[in-house]
Amino acid sequence: MTDTFRPGVRDEEILSLEGVSLWLSGREILHDVGFSLRAGELTGLIGSNGAGKTTIFRVILGLETPSAGKVLFAGHPRPRRNRSVGYVPQSIGLDPDVPLRARDLVALGLDGDRFGIPLPSRSRRQLVDEMLEAVDAQGFADARVGKLSGGELQRTLIAHALIAKPRLLLLDEPLANLDIRSEQEVVGLLAKIAKAHAIAVLISAHEMNPLLPVMDRVVYVASGRAASGPTEEVVREDVLSALYGHHVDVLHVHDRILVVAGKDETHHAELERTHTVVPRGLG
């Protein structure tokens, strides 16, 4: 399965955002966001709902154009048709009637953007089989996509993204709606993929603890601002307090990290107290 990927160079810079700001309908959704992703590394994009995680993805994917700043792929501006980025959205709201098996969906990752009807090809089929094996999806390869469980669909979509041999893989909240065991399997799989094929993997999550064992770097997002670096350098009281603009507690409980942030914008007295709770930011 390794040979289906272009050999990447470890630590090579794949993507960098420099001072990216984005205004939409008169509101600043992102403010001066900058970070870079390297080959072979798994980066967590952490923040609460509405902090700007999905918007950062949309900027990387070219679905939004930054009002200021630069998005560079290996030092160059984004090409118009960019096959070097694989994308797994959060929820795809699949119609159960769609006549596609898991293997058909993976094959669409190869050439779904092309026009015309594909001819059956042995090499195409072989590539799909290898990719299904890489995400351990042979057991449901012939099941209708609308009937897959959350974890099965997640792995199918990962294979769909990987088959195009991307340099960068973006996953929007891949752990949402998964049970704990599936969560661990998906995280393990993604870490393995990042290392084995030297691609950069960016995973967004509102909860960073499942990612802690495998995360090389973190991009922490709050209210459209971001702080990035190795986890232990970012998830600290001083850094996160500066990011939020008010005091934030970072508690280490066994091997978990709890970030406790007050609700600054609404001036509510209550404290939200979950693992990485941040104030409700920009919608």
Partner 1 sequence: MGAILTGIFEPGFFTSEPVRVAVIVGGAVSLVSAVVGVFTVIRGQSFAGHSLGDLGTTGGSGAFLVGANPLWGFVTFAILGAGAMELFGARRPRGRDMATGIVLGAGLGIAALFLYLGTTHSNTTGATITILFGSMFVIRSSMIPVFALLSVLALAVVALLYRPLLLSAVSQDIASARGVPVRLIGALYLLAMAVAVSLSCVTIGAILSTAVLIGPAAAALRLTKRPGLAIAWAAVIGLAVTWLGILLAYDSYYWPPAGRGWPVSFFVVALILVVYLLADLANGQKARRAGARAIASDKGPGVVAGRAWPSSPGEPGAE
Binding site for partner 1 (CB under 8 A): 61-63, 80-83, 85, 87-89, 92-95, 97-101, 104-105, 108, 111-118, 136, 139-140, 142-153, 155, 157, 160, 164, 177-179, 181-182, 185
| Residue 173: CB minimum distance to partner 1, A | 13
d(CA 72, CA 63): 15
Residue closer to partner 1 (CB basis): 157 or 235: 157
Residue closer to partner 1 (CB basis): 97 or 255: 97
CA distances from 174 to 13, 71, 147, 169, 218 (A): 24, 23, 18, 12, 16
Angle between helices 102-111 and 150-162 (to 10 degrees): 30
Contact 201, 193 (CB under 8 A): yes
Residue closer to partner 1 (CB basis): 28 or 207: 207
Angle at 280 between CA 249 and CA 64, to 5 degrees: 120
Residue closer to partner 1 (CB basis): 117 or 269: 117
| Residue 137: CB minimum distance to partner 1, A | 9
| Residue 259: CB minimum distance to partner 1, A | 26
> 224, 253, 219: which is closest to 235 by C-alpha?
219
Residue closer to partner 1 (CB basis): 8 or 151: 151
Q: In this structure, what token pair is assigned to residue 166?
A: 């991307």
